[in-house]
C-alpha cells in the first residue's frame, strides 16, 4: 500500500515573517499523491496552494518564508532535509513545475532550444547534440509544428499557447515522476486551454507520471483530477474523490463555491453568493476560518478550530457540522447555553 | 411598440497602421476590427466573447469613441455620433460609462473614494458640495458599500470592494449604457458571483444597458440576453444567449463552447480541439478568417468571405455552411 505513494506532505506549516507581521500562509497541510495519479488542489487567491507547491520544490524565498514544521516525503525521502545541491538534482529531473505565466517564466535572451537542452544536458548527462535531438523530440511531442525551426527561436516569437507548450516540453524533458502544474492554463484562452489540458493528460499516460494540478477553476479540476483537495485560508478544508466533491460537497465552502459558478445548462437563476471577502492572511478569523462567511455557522465555529477528520468513503472534511462532529458540537452548544 | 435601441453600430472598422523604417512607411494594417455591426436595446445586456486579440475591447472603445474608428457609423438613440464635435461628445459622455477589468489599476491610488466616484459629477457640473457627498453616499449604498467609506483610499479595500467602487463610479452620472470590459476576470470565484448579481440588480433597478465583454463563456451566458462571438476582428455569430449555447452554428462557436471545462466529472463531452493558434490580424487568411482551423472547410471558404446572415429569427451567422 504505502509503496504506491509518490509524494506525501505531512503537517506542512509555512510562515512568512514580514514587516507587517507573520503571515500564516500554510498551516498543517497534509495530503499525498499516488503514482500516476492526478491530484487537484483548488482554492482562491491567498489560500496557500502555490506556497504549498513551491515548498515541495523548495523554491520559497527564505527569508521571509520559513517552513516551520512538517515533512515532505518524495518516494519516502524527506525533501526538507536535502541540501541545496541534492535539491538541484531533483528539481527539473524528478519533480518539474509549470508556472502560470508563460510570458514571464521563459528567459527572453535565450532561444527556447537552448533553454530546453540546458536541463537535459545538466540532468541526463547527454552531449549537446544528443540534447538538441531530445529537445526537438520534446517540442514535437507537445505539438509544436516545425520543431527543428522553432528550436532556434526566442520566446517573443511564440504565442502564449506555444510558450506554455515549451514550458511543458521543458518540464517533461527529463521524464519527471511528478509534474506540478500551477494554474497552467489560467493565462490562456479557452480553446488553447483545452489543447494544453489534453496534452498534459496524454503525456501523463505516456510517461506515467503523477500530476499535482493547482487551479481555481473547478471545471479544470472536474476534467483532470481523480482526487481533489480544497484549500481555504491556508488550510485543507476538504479532501475527496473528484466525483464525490461535485455530487455531494461536504464543506460549506466547497458547496458554496460550486453553487456560485454560472452554469451553462438549464434555466438561468440567480447566482448563489458566498458573502464577505477572502480573509486576510495576516489576521485570520478565530475558530473555523470560514465561519464569518458560513451560513451554517454555530457558536462553536467562532470559538474552536475544527480539525480535519476522516468520514465515510475516503473523504476528509474540516467542519463541525459534518462528519462525526455533531454529537460533540451539540454537547458544547448545550453547555454554552447553560 | 418596438423596443428602444440605445446604441447601434454599423460596419465598424478599426485598422491600426504598421509603420516600418525611419520614414515610417506604412507596411500594412492590423485589422483589429473589420466590419462589425450590432445594436443594444434598453435594459439589455449584449455579451461579446472571443479569444484575446479578436477585437472585443477595440470594438467597445470605438463604440464609445475613446478610440477613433477608421470607418463605420455609430448611432446613440438614433443620432449619428460620428458626426459629433468635441463639445457634443463631451455632453454625451456622462450617458456612456465603462467598468474596467483590473480593479487594482483602474482606481487612482491617490484619490479618495469620494473623489473617484464624484469626479465625473464635478466635471460635468452635475453636483457639488453637500449634494455631491449625498450622491456619492447613495451610490456607495447602491453597490453594497457603506457611505462611511467615503474618505478612504482604494488600497483600504479588497479586490471585490474595489470593483464595487468602479461600478459606483460608472453609475454616478446615470448612464444609459455601460461597457463592462471583463469586470469579473480578475476576481476570485466566490467574489465573482457577488459582482454579477450586483450588475443584474442594478440593471433591473436603473434600466441600464450593458455591453459585457468577457472570455469566461459561462459568465457571459449567465448575464447576457444576447451574445455575439468575435473572431479576428469579425462578428461570426450573434443570437439569444440560450439559443447560442444550445444551438451554436458557427464551427468556431461550437469549438469555443465545447472547450469550456464543465464542473461535473461525470459529463465527459466530446471536445472539439482547434488546431494551432489564431492567425495574425496583420495578415488574416483570405476568405473566411476561420478556415485555417475549421473542420468543415470547403473550397469556397478559402476565397469568399461569408456574410453575417440571419439563419433563424434573431440568430445570425457568418458561415458558408448555412447559406441556402
pLDDT class of A114 with cuts at 50, 70, 90:
very high
Where residue A43 falls (left for φ over 0; alpha for ψ -120 to 50; beta otherwise) is left
* CB spacing of B189 vs A278 below 8 angstroms: no
Q: Is residue B150 part of a domain?
A: no
Residue pointed to by grid coordinates 456574410: B307
Q: Which domain holds residue A53?
A: 5-94+179-262+271-336
Q: Is residue A37 part of a domain?
A: yes
- Assess whether A48 and A155 both reside in one domain: no
* CB spacing of A261 vs B194 below 8 angstroms: no
Question: What is the C-alpha radius of gyration for chain A, rounded to an integer number of angstroms?
Answer: 22
- Assess whether A185 and A331 both reside in one domain: yes
Assembly ipTM: 0.79
Inform me whether the C-beta atom of residue A141 falls under 8 Å from chain B C-beta atoms: no
Last residue of a domain, one of A157, A175, A193: A175
> What is the rounded distance in angstroms from the CA atom of residue A135 to the CA atom of residue A175?
12
Q: Is residue B242 part of a domain?
A: yes
For A48-87, give the DSSP string: SHHHHHHHHHT---TTTEEEEEEEEEETTEEGGG--HHHH
CATH number, residue A228: 3.40.50.300
pTM assigned to the model: 0.85
Grid cell listed for B17: 497602421
Grid cell listed for B5: 435601441
pLDDT class of A333 with cuts at 50, 70, 90:
low
The mean per-residue pLDDT over the stretch A65-75 comes to 90
Distance from CA of B179 to the nearest CA of A (A): 20
Q: Is residue A307 part of a domain?
A: yes
Q: Is residue B149 part of a domain?
A: no
Q: Is residue A79 part of a domain?
A: yes
Distance from CA of A119 to the nearest CA of B (A): 27
Name every chain A residue with its beta carbon within 8 A of the beta carbon of B221. 262, 264
In B, residues 168-187, which contact A (CB 8 Å cutoff)? Answer: none
- Assess whether A59 and A185 both reside in one domain: yes
- Assess whether A9 and A62 both reside in one domain: yes
Q: Is residue A99 part of a domain?
A: no
In B, residues 191-210, which contact A (CB 8 Å cutoff)? Answer: 191-194, 196-197, 200
> What is the DSSP pairing of strand B45-49 with strand A315-317?
unpaired
Whether A39 shows a pLDDT value over 90: the answer reads: yes
The mean per-residue pLDDT over the stretch A331-337 comes to 60
Q: Kindly report, residue by residue over A257-291, the tens digit of the pLDDT.
A: 888 888 877 667 788 888 888 888 888 888 899 99
Give kind and range of the element (H or E) at residue B89. Answer: helix B86-92
Name every chain A residue with its beta carbon within 8 A of the beta carbon of B217. 190, 264
In A, residues 158-197, which contact B (CB 8 Å cutoff)? Answer: 159-162, 189-195, 197
Q: Is residue B159 part of a domain?
A: no
Q: Is residue A328 part of a domain?
A: yes
Q: Kindly report, residue by residue over B118-177, the tens digit of the pLDDT.
A: 999 999 888 888 999 999 999 999 898 888 889 999 988 888 889 999 999 999 999 999
* CB spacing of B259 vs A246 below 8 angstroms: no
Q: Kindly report, residue by residue over B9-31, the tens digit of the pLDDT.
A: 999 999 999 888 888 888 888 88
CB neighbourhood size of B7 (10 A): 25
A257 to chain B: nearest residue by CA?
Answer: B190
Total number of domains in chain A: 2
Inform me whether the C-beta atom of residue B254 falls under 8 Å from chain A C-beta atoms: no
Whether B317 shows a pLDDT value over 50: the answer reads: yes
Q: What is the pLDDT of residue B132?
A: 92
Q: Is residue A102 part of a domain?
A: no
Q: Is residue B180 part of a domain?
A: yes
Q: Is residue B120 part of a domain?
A: no
Closest CA to A214 of A44, A60, A87: A44
Name every chain A residue with its beta carbon within 8 A of the beta carbon of B189. 44, 216, 218, 257, 260-261
CB neighbourhood size of A208 (10 A): 11
Q: What is the pLDDT of residue A267?
A: 67
Q: Is residue B38 part of a domain?
A: yes
- Assess whether A67 and A140 both reside in one domain: no
A vs B: CB pairs below 8 A = 120
Inform me whether the C-beta atom of residue B155 falls under 8 Å from chain A C-beta atoms: no
* CB spacing of B190 vs A194 below 8 angstroms: no
Q: Which domain holds residue B207?
A: 5-105+176-322
The mean per-residue pLDDT over the stretch B216-227 comes to 90
Q: Is residue B189 part of a domain?
A: yes
Total number of domains in chain B: 1
Distance from CA of A189 to the nearest CA of B (A): 6
Q: Kindly report, residue by residue over B239-261, the tens digit of the pLDDT.
A: 999 999 889 999 999 998 888 88
**What are the two backbone dihedrals, phi and then psi, of residue B132, each rounded to the nearest 5 degrees?**
-65, -45
Last residue of a domain, one of A175, A199, A233: A175
A244 to chain B: nearest residue by CA?
Answer: B265
Q: What is the pLDDT of residue A19?
A: 86
Beta bridge partners of A311: A315
The mean per-residue pLDDT over the stretch B282-311 comes to 89
pLDDT class of A2 with cuts at 50, 70, 90:
very low
CATH number, residue B213: 3.40.50.300
Amino acid at each position: 500500500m504505502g509503496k504506491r505513494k509518490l509524494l506525501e506532505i505531512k503537517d506542512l506549516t509555512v510562515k512568512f515573517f514580514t514587516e507587517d507581521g507573520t503571515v500564516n500562509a500554510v498551516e498543517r497541510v497534509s495530503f499525498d499523491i499516488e503514482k500516476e495519479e492526478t491530484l487537484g488542489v483548488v482554492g482562491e487567491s491567498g489560500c496557500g496552494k502555490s506556497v504549498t507547491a513551491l515548498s515541495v520544490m523548495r523554491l520559497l524565498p527564505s527569508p521571509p518564508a520559513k517552513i516551520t514544521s512538517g515533512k515532505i516525503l518524495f518516494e519516502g525521502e524527506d525533501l526538507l532535509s536535502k541540501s541545496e545541491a541534492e535539491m538541484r538534482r531533483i528539481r527539473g529531473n524528478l519533480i518539474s513545475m509549470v508556472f502560470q505565466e508563460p510570458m514571464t517564466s521563459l528567459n527572453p535572451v535565450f532561444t527556447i532550444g537552448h533553454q530546453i537542452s540546458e536541463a537535459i544536458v545538466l540532468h541526463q548527462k547527454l552531449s549537446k547534440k544528443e540534447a538538441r535531438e531530445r529537445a526537438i523530440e520534446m517540442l514535437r511531442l507537445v505539438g509544436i509544428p516545425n520543431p527543428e525551426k522553432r528550436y532556434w527561436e526566442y520566446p517573443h516569437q511564440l504565442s502564449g499557447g506555444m510558450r506554455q507548450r515549451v514550458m511543458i516540453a521543458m518540464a517533461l524533458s527529463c521524464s519527471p515522476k511528478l509534474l506540478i502544474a500551477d494554474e497552467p492554463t489560467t493565462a490562456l484562452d479557452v480553446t488553447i486551454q483545452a489543447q494544453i489540458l489534453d496534452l498534459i493528460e496524454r503525456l501523463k499516460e505516456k510517461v506515467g507520471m503523477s500530476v499535482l494540478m493547482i487551479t481555481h477553476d473547478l471545471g479544470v479540476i472536474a476534467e483532470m483530477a481523480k482526487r481533489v483537495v480544497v484549500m481555504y485560508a491556508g488550510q485543507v478544508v476538504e479532501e475527496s474523490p473528484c466525483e464525490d466533491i461535485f455530487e455531494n460537497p461536504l464543506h460549506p465552502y466547497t458547496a458554496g463555491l460550486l453553487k456560485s459558478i454560472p452554469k451553462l445548462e438549464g434555466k438561468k437563476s440567480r447566482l448563489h453568493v458566498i458573502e464577505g471577502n477572502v480573509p486576510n492572511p495576516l489576521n485570520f478569523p478565530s475558530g473555523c476560518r470560514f465561519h464569518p462567511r458560513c451560513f451554517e455557522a454555530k457558536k462553536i465555529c467562532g470559538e474552536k478550530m475544527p480539525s480535519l477528520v476522516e468520514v465515510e468513503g475516503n473523504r476528509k472534511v474540516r467542519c463541525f457540522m459534518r462528519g462525526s462532529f455533531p454529537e460533540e458540537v451539540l454537547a458544547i452548544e448545550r453547555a454554552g447555553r447553560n | 411598440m418596438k423596443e428602444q435601441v440605445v446604441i447601434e453600430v454599423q460596419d465598424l472598422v478599426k485598422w491600426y497602421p504598421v509603420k516600418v523604417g525611419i520614414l515610417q512607411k506604412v507596411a500594412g494594417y492590423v485589422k483589429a476590427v473589420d466590419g462589425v455591426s450590432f445594436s443594444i436595446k434598453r435594459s439589455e445586456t449584449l455579451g461579446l466573447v472571443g479569444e484575446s486579440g479578436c477585437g472585443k475591447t477595440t470594438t467597445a472603445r470605438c463604440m464609445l469613441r475613446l478610440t477613433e474608428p477608421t470607418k463605420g457609423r455609430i448611432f446613440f438613440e438614433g443620432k449619428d455620433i460620428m458626426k459629433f464635435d468635441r463639445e457634443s461628445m463631451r455632453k454625451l459622455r456622462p450617458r456612456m460609462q465603462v467598468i474596467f477589468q483590473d480593479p487594482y489599476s483602474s482606481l487612482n491610488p491617490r484619490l479618495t473614494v469620494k473623489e473617484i466616484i464624484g469626479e465625473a459629477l464635478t466635471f460635468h457640473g452635475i453636483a457639488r458640495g453637500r449634494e455631491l457627498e449625498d450622491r456619492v453616499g447613495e451610490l456607495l449604498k447602491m453597490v453594497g458599500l457603506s457611505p462611511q467609506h467615503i474618505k478612504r483610499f482604494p488600497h483600504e479595500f479588497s479586490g471585490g470592494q474595489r470593483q464595487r467602487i468602479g461600478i459606483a463610479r460608472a453609475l454616478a452620472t446615470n448612464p444609459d449604457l455601460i461597457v463592462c470590459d471583463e469586470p469579473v476576470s480578475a476576481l476570485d470565484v466566490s467574489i465573482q458571483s457577488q459582482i454579477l448579481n450586483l450588475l443584474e440588480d442594478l440593471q433591473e433597478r436603473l434600466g441600464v444597458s450593458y455591453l459585457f465583454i468577457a472570455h469566461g463563456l459561462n459568465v457571459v451566458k449567465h448575464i447576457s440576453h444576447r451574445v455575439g462571438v468575435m473572431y479576428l476582428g469579425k462578428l461570426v455569430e450573434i443570437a439569444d444567449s440560450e439559443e447560442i449555447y444550445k444551438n451554436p452554428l458557427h464551427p468556431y462557436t461550437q469549438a469555443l463552447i465545447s472547450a469550456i471545462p464543465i464542473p461535473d466529472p461525470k459529463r465527459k463531452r466530446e471536445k472539439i480541439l482547434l488546431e494551432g493558434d489564431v492567425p495574425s490580424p496583420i495578415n488574416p487568411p483570405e476568405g473566411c478568417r476561420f478556415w485555417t482551423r475549421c473542420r468543415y472547410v470547403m473550397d469556397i471558404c478559402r476565397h469568399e468571405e461569408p456574410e453575417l446572415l440571419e439563419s433563424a429569427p434573431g440568430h445570425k451567422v457568418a458561415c458558408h455552411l448555412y447559406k441556402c
